[in-house]
Amino acid sequence: MKKTLGLVALLGVLVACGGDNNGGGNTAPSAPNTVAGLVTDIGSGVRLSGVTVRVVGSSRTTTTDNRGEFILQNLPAGLVKLDFEKAGYAPGHGIAESASSAQTVVVALKKEGAEQGYNPTQARTLYQRTEAGPYAVIFQPNSLNTTDTNLRVVVTPLDPTKEDAALPGDLVAGGASPTPLAPVTFAEFSILDSQNRRINLKPGSSAIVELPIPPELRSRYRIGDKIHCYAYNPQTGRWEDFVEGTVERSSVDGTTPVLRASIRHFSWYGGAPAVQDQECVLVEVSNRFGKLEGAVVTARPGLRAVTNRLGQANITVEKGVPINFTATKTYTDTFVDANGNLVPKPGAKVIDIGRVYEDDLIGLDGKNYTRTPGPCPSGSSQSVRTAATNPLPIRVAPAPEGFFQATALLQPGGLAFVQLEKGIPNADGDLENAKPASGANITITDNAGKTATLSELAPGSGAYFANNFTVEPGKRYTLNIDADGNGSVDGSGSAFAVGNVAWSNLVNGGSYSASNLTATWSDSAASQPGYNALYMVSFQRNGGSGVSDFAVYVGSERSFQPRAQTSPPTPLAPGTYTVTLNAFSGALNGSNLNITDNITGVGMQGQIYSIQPVNPITITLTGP
Amino acid sequence: MPFLVACSSAWPRDAHLVLVSQAGSSTVAVIDPRQGKTLQRITVGGLPHRMVLSPDGSKVYVVLVGSQAVAEVDVRSLAVTRTFLTAPVPERRADGSLIQAHFDQDAFTQTTCFACHNPGGAKPFIVGERPVGIALSSDASRLFISHIRQGRLSEISLKDGAVVRSQDLPPTGAASEAADVARVGSKLVVALRPRQPSTEASAVRWLDAQTWQTLAEAPTGADPAFVLPLEEGALVSNFESNTLSLHTPGAAPRLFTVTPGPLGMLRVGKGQVLSLNYYSNAVSLLNLETGESQSYRLELAGQTFVNPTHAALSPDGRLAYIVSSGTEGHLLVFDLKSSRVLRAIPIDGLSFDVVVVGRK
């Protein structure tokens, strides 16, 4: 679902507006040596049917059903590595433990990039561009292990600040003392020959890849910094081949900061430094019947843990950054009846999923959740704690059967507004027969811990806002959306509210030299780590329509020299001009300024963004 | 997780421990190979990588790539006794701006950047000139340290831990990063590489250990990772390829073929070298006289152990302790006679180097 920035109509809307089920229990069966799963599209959240699921190292395969689910039973004990394949998507991978109770794999697939032809006897740079910049692979001649000269190269970019659920496996430096890895930038590289076979590098050969640093992380990783890089090995289910990459300027566009590194095996590849500042957080997983033992909790950036009989687990996370928690629990030979009860039914299964996206664990609800500095002590995930704790709650429930779409607007100094719709997604991920979705539970939290629950404006409207909650310019806001109101979070996302934006050197009625003018403006949030606003500036001469009567700027800088788009550019014509300035914060497709999804989840998608228009001013430009 | 065991061949009679630098956790693991477990973790500083053992076996020197320092570990007490800076604490950043915190906190009196730049401490965690290579002087009174960032070579007196000499090595072409240093008799051998990733040539430079005058130089692959000192020459692992190159001053290098990604190397007998081949999850046993090599994948009980980095020899010379440095870390006990893995002992992921020390 995309929206053209200039057509956003939500501001007008803003101007106008200003249970637990007691049935069943937690005793439903969960068969040993079983792995169940759910496969979705990372871009839309749609469940994907017809995905081939292969157990690595065996001949076992299955296919996802029309709900995007699968189940594999009677697996050998130990680590289970799974490959997921569907036409049009980059290869997906997942891991789970075949253990005493069923485990769940939640996999999101990413639509693959465009195919590009390549003759491997040539040196060549191929790239796929996104709003973050060009994702490139640089081939040396004759470095590929093939004699076929008609190859197809597919580069599938992945921005972990928005799409980390599509990263395969666990991003962990494991072994005796596991350490989380913090994802920075990734891509999948597929080289296919004429027979559609995957091609790799010759033994002893390498290629160079360049992966853009996501805009949200550019304040953390500077030019010259070293970042650890890894390739995913589907055979072992681990990230391997650690080498150091360097942050440099893109060799494609000369400006984008990219992670440049050497690659030896084409697969998923990217940068993820070991997390130095860790903390141990106590979480508590519950479903509609109470606390849940044996739920698997995964944190990113962080580790994985299993809840004890109190439904609690200690889990190591990176300190001071947003964390995605996902908890899962699978019941076998069980289904959910109309009252939400778990009822025995041979061959059926129930997959409960819950997500919590925490911008920062400090101060949520005005409290500190139970946590300690450093990694969790070994084995503590299974210890049973006494009651004097305040665990972070994660509620799980079956993922929604329908499909939801959220559009959230943060109005600096004003409201937080969410429009929620339910419908049937088409092949592009857009909703058809969309209707307002009532009954959702939506919370909004700022990065200082202030939280509010949004209320539906009118029954049946699907429009939600929070009373007595003012969006402060420059703060980061996180939405957690339980779209179907069954207690588990189905989707989440975050964005900065645009800061206070104002002209620095232009005033209404002012007069300036057309040849010397550089317009500058300020943004009170500019120094916030991770803040990356887009500014749109236009100069339009009143009554003029020629090429020298108009200049426009779209970008992240806070200065602009207005020039007519002649060749070479020339000063604007003297005259009276209307000058506009707008600031935007959210996710954009860089090529055509479409607002793109940054609320992700299972069975839902959406966008959260902020816009701040500055009142237009009139100025006079003078000639030489 | 129990360690994997293939069989229980006779163990070396000399009681010993194995020390492994665990880069991801700022520690050195103390491992009892007989028990197959880590007995102790010594916090040493940021990104511990290469290690050398003093000739008397009493000290281990650990290069702290992320803390611009070397940690001295006492083998008897298994504790850090001293740290040495390998380059001065800077007053200014690369852009010329003043690092005020260094003045406010009197950072110039510290002996490691880890005192301030540690987990939970000052940001960034990884700082400094990135020391990486290490070699001892012939009388074991000084350390030679090579740095990646500026191609700097430093000499540290072990008497007082002071940097007594430091010099930026002039680049050869694009080769400007001092990736490793070794000592061969009265000469130093420095591997200078281009900024990675690169396809340009590196240089192997011979220096007089006293004067640091250049004696000879020869090109090598784009990414030399390690220099193994031999009696007359030095063996260089070309990490970007599947080759090792034998360098002697004034002679053309001699190439040997192993499997892709050679990194660490270990002498395992007269004229024999074990090459740790990172990208091929294998080791190669190389005969330097004949040039023949045999390669073995690192596997045990159906499991492949990935990304070997360095190895150390057991006191009786029969076993090689190999660091498998994937995100799932293992110390492998490799029997040199049968050329197979006997045990896999869990260690931290992203571990790097290994030394064998006597047991107190």
Contact yes or no for A135/A65 (Cβ under 8 A): no
Which residues fall within 8 angstroms of residue A315, CB to CB, at 6 or more apart? Answer: A280, A281, A283, A297, A299, A302, A303, A304, A305, A325, A376, A381
Q: How, if at all, do strands A563-564 and A570-571 pair? A: antiparallel
Residues in chain A within 8 Å Cβ distance of B327:
172-175, 181, 230, 238-240, 242
Closest to B24 (Cβ–Cβ): which among A173, A204, A373?
A173
What is the pLDDT at residue B309?
98
pLDDT of residue A590: 56
Query: Nearest by CB to A140, which of B199, B306, B330?
Result: B199
- Does residue B281 have a pLDDT over 80? yes
Mean pLDDT across chain A = 88
Share of chain B above pLDDT 90, in %: 88
Question: Is residue B200 less than 8 Å (CB to CB) from chain A?
Answer: no
Q: Give pLDDT, residue B52.
A: 98
Q: What is the pLDDT of residues B252-279, one digit of tens each?
A: 999 999 999 999 999 998 899 999 999 9
Mode of pairing for the β-strands spanning A296-300 and A304-306: antiparallel
Same domain for A198 and A146: yes
> Which residues between 174 and 203 in chain A have a beta carbon less than 8 angstroms from any beta carbon of chain B?
174-179, 181, 203
If asked whether residues A191 and A248 sit together in one domain, one would say yes
Of A450, A481, A496, which residue is a domain's last?
A496
In whole numbers, what is the pLDDT of chain B averaged over residues? 94
Of the candidates B94, B242, B329, the beta carbon closest to that of A203 is on: B242
Note whether A339 and A289 are same-domain residues: yes
Which residues on A lie below 8 Å from B22 (Cβ)?
A: 177
Q: Is the pLDDT of residue B200 over 60?
A: yes
* Contact: B346, A176; criterion CB under 8 Å: yes
Residue A592 confidence (pLDDT): 63
Distance from CA of A242 to the nearest CA of B (A): 7
Q: Does B347 touch chain A (CB under 8 A)?
A: yes
Nearest to A262 among B197, B242, B259 (CB): B197
Q: Which of A271, A294, A321 is the last residue of a domain?
A: A271
Flag whether pLDDT at B337 surpasses 90: yes
Which B residues 93-152 touch A at CB under 8 Å?
A: 94, 118-120, 125-126
**Which residue range(s) make up the domain with A364?**
277-346+355-397
Domain ranges in chain B are 4-92+100-358
Least Cα separation, residue B348 to chain A (angstroms): 5
| Contact predicate A492/A478, CB 8 Å | yes
Collect all residues of chain A within an 8 Å Cβ-Cβ radius of residue B25.
Answer: 177, 179
Interface check for A230 against chain B (CB to CB < 8 A): the answer is yes
Top CATH class of B4-92+100-358 equals: mainly beta
Domain end, chosen from A248, A271, A294, is at: A271
Q: Could you tell me the two tokens for B100?
A: 């005020």
For residue B20, the SS3 value is strand
pLDDT above 80: residue A6: no
d(CA A311, CA A372): 19
Task: Output the CA torsion B340→B346→B351→B352 (10° steps).
Answer: -30
CA distance B230 to chain A (A): 25
Asked whether the beta carbons of residue A175 and residue B25 sit closer than 8 angstroms, the reply is no
Query: What's the average model confidence in pLDDT over A104-125?
Result: 96
Least-confidence region, from A63-72, A439-448, B237-246: A439-448
Inside any domain, residue A546: no
Q: Give the model's confidence band at A22: pLDDT under 50 very low, under 70 low, under 90 confident, else very high.
A: very low
- Say whether both A335 and A471 belong to one domain: no
User: A115: number of CA atoms within 13 Å, CB side?
Assistant: 12
Whether B197 contacts chain A with CB within 8 A = yes
Q: Is the pLDDT of residue B111 over 60?
A: yes
* One domain, residues A393 and A406: no
- Residues A87, A88, A93, A99, Cα dihedral to 10°: -50
Band of residue A360 on the pLDDT scale cut at 50, 70, 90: low
- Residue A556 per-residue DSSP state: S
The pLDDT tens digits of the residues spanning A205-250 come to: 999 999 999 988 998 898 989 999 999 999 999 999 989 999 999 9
Residue A120 lies in a domain: yes
Distance CA B227, CA B153 (A): 15
pLDDT at position A25 = 53
Strand positions, DSSP E, A337-482: 342-358, 371-373, 392-395, 397-398, 403-410, 416-425, 431-436, 441-446, 451-456, 463-465, 476-482
Label the pairing between strands A491-496 and A476-482. Answer: antiparallel
CB of A509 less than 8 A from some CB of B:
no
User: Over 90: is that where the pLDDT of A401 sits?
Assistant: no
> Are B350 and A244 within 8 A, CB to CB?
no
| A55-67: average pLDDT | 94
Residue B17 tokens read as 């421990």
Task: Kindly indicate the confidence band of residue A379, based on its pLDDT and cuts at 50, 70 and 90.
Answer: low
Q: Given CB atoms, is A573 within the 8 Å cutoff of chain B?
A: no
Whether residues B349 and A233 touch (CB distance < 8 A) is answered with no
Q: What percent of chain A has pLDDT over 70?
A: 91
Mean pLDDT of A275-285: 91
Spatial contact of A272 and A226, defined as CB atoms under 8 Å apart? no
How many CB pairs below 8 Å do chains A and B form together? 106
Provide the shortest C-alpha distance from residue A279 to chain B (in Å). 10
End-to-end CA distance of chain A: 48
- Looking at the structure, do residues A333 and A437 belong to the same domain, yes or no? no
Task: Provide the shortest C-alpha distance from residue B203 to chain A (in Å).
Answer: 20
Given this model, what pLDDT does residue A461 score? 96
C-beta atoms of B329 and A236 within 8 A: no
- Asked if A583 and A498 touch (Cβ cutoff 8 Å), the reply is yes
pLDDT in tens, B153-174: 999 999 999 999 999 999 999 9
Question: Quick check: A264 and B41 CB within 8 A?
Answer: no
Contacts of B18 in chain A (CB under 8 A): none
Residue A482's CATH number: 2.60.40.10
Q: What is the DSSP string of A257-273?
A: EEEEEEESS-SEEEE-P
In a domain, A90, yes or no: no
Say what the pLDDT of residue A595 is. 81
For A286-335, write each residue's pLDDT tens digit. Answer: 988 889 999 999 999 999 999 999 999 999 999 888 889 999 999 999 88
- Determine, for residues B327 and A175 on separate chains, whether the beta-carbon distance falls below 8 Å: yes
Looking at beta carbons, which residues of chain A come within 8 Å of B350?
173, 179, 228, 242, 274
* The pLDDT of residue A390 is above 90: no
Q: Considering only residues A43 and B344, tell me which one the structure prediction assigns the higher pLDDT.
A: B344
Same domain, A393 and A415: no
Residue A182 has pLDDT above 80, yes or no: yes
User: Do A207 and A257 belong together in one domain?
Assistant: yes
- Tens of pLDDT, residue by residue over A522-569, are 999 998 888 889 999 999 999 999 999 999 998 889 999 999 989 899
DSSP 8-state code for residue A144:
B
Lowest-confidence pick of A26-35, A587-596, B170-179, B210-219: A587-596
Residues A125 and A234 in one domain: yes
At residue A361, what is the residue type? L
B273 contacts B286 by C-beta, under 8 angstroms: yes
**Total domains in the fold of chain A:** 3
Give the strand order in the sheet containing B59-64: B48-53, B59-64, B69-74, B79-85
Structure confidence at residue A388 (pLDDT): 56
d(CA B26, CA B49): 9
Residue B270 phi, psi (nearest 5) = -60, 120
Tokens for A619, please give them: 């100025």
Q: Measured between CB atoms, does B194 come within 8 Å of chain A?
A: no
Regarding whether A232 and A127 lie in a shared domain, the answer is yes
Neighbours of B297 (CB within 10 A): 14
Are the beta carbons of B24 and A236 separated by less than 8 Å? no
Cis peptide before A301 (omega within 30 of 0): yes
A278 contacts A319 by C-beta, under 8 angstroms? yes
Helix residue ranges per DSSP H, A424-524? none
Structural domain includes residue A99: no
Q: Taking residues B100-119, what's their average pLDDT?
A: 94
**B306 in contact with chain A, both atoms CB, cutoff 8 A:** yes
Q: Is B35 on the interface with A (CB under 8 A)?
A: no
Would A454 be classed as within a structural domain?
yes
Interface membership of A379 toward B (CB under 8 Å) = no
The token pair that represents A477 in the structure block: 């806001």
DSSP state of B87: S
For β-strands B69-74 and B59-64, DSSP reports them as antiparallel
Among all residues of chain A, which has the CA nearest to that of B225?
A243
Residue A206 placed within a domain: yes
Optimal mutation site among A211, A220, A240, interface B, most CBs of chain B within 10 A: A240
Which chain A residue has the Cα nearest residue B261? A204
Closest Cα in chain A, distance from residue B23 (Å): 9
Query: Which pLDDT does position A16 carry in this prediction?
Result: 35
* A378, closest residue in chain B (CA to CA): B1
Banded model confidence at residue B249, pLDDT cuts 50, 70, 90: very high
> Among candidates A287, A294, A291, which has minimal Cα distance to A310?
A291
pLDDT in tens, B179-196: 999 999 999 999 999 999
**Residue B34 confidence class, pLDDT cut points 50, 70, 90:** very high
Asked if B329 and A175 come within 8 Å (Cβ–Cβ), the reply is yes
What is the pLDDT confidence band of residue A61, given thresholds at 50, 70 and 90?
A: very high
ipTM, two decimals, is 0.89
More confident residue, A433 or A470: A470
Are A136 and A10 part of one and the same domain?
A: no
Rounded to a whole number of angstroms, the distance from the CA of A270 to the nearest CA of chain B is: 14
Residue B304 has its nearest CB partner, among A177, A226, A236, at A236
Q: Does A321 touch chain B (CB under 8 A)?
A: no
pLDDT tens digit sequence for B298-328: 999 989 999 999 999 999 999 999 999 989 9
Query: Is A176's CB within 8 Å of B328's CB?
Result: no
Residue A408 lies in a domain: yes
Q: Check if A18 contacts B (Cβ < 8 Å).
A: no
A169 located within any domain: yes
Specify the 3-state DSSP secondary structure of A576. strand
User: How confident is the model at residue A372, as a pLDDT?
Assistant: 81
Q: What is the mean pLDDT of residues A440-452?
A: 88
- pLDDT at position A429 over 90: no
The DSSP call for residue B98 is B
What is the per-residue pLDDT for A361? 55
A208 contacts B349? CB cut-off 8 A: no
φ/ψ of B280, rounded to 5, equals: -110, 5
Interchain CB distance below 8 Å, A241 and B346: no
Nearest to residue A185, comparing CAs of A116, A247, A264?
A247
Is residue A451 packed enough to be buried (19+ CB in 10 Å), middle (13-18) or exposed (0-12)? middle
pLDDT band at residue A363 under the 50/70/90 scheme: very low
Q: Is there a single domain that holds both residue A234 and residue A281? A: no
Considering only the beta carbons, identify the residue of B196, B243, B307 that sits closest to A262. B196
pLDDT score recorded for residue A9? 37
Residues 6+ apart with CB under 8 A from B319: B12, B33, B313, B333, B334, B335, B336, B342
**CATH number of domain containing A359:** 2.60.40
Contact predicate A72/A63, CB 8 Å: no
Question: pLDDT value at position A591?
Answer: 57
- Model pLDDT, residue A339: 76
Of B25, B94, B260, the CB nearest to A179: B25
Q: Using pLDDT thresholds of 50, 70 and 90, give the confidence band for residue B250.
A: confident
CA distance B221 to B244: 9
Q: Evaluate the CA torsion angle A234, A237, A240, A246 in order and state its sign.
A: positive
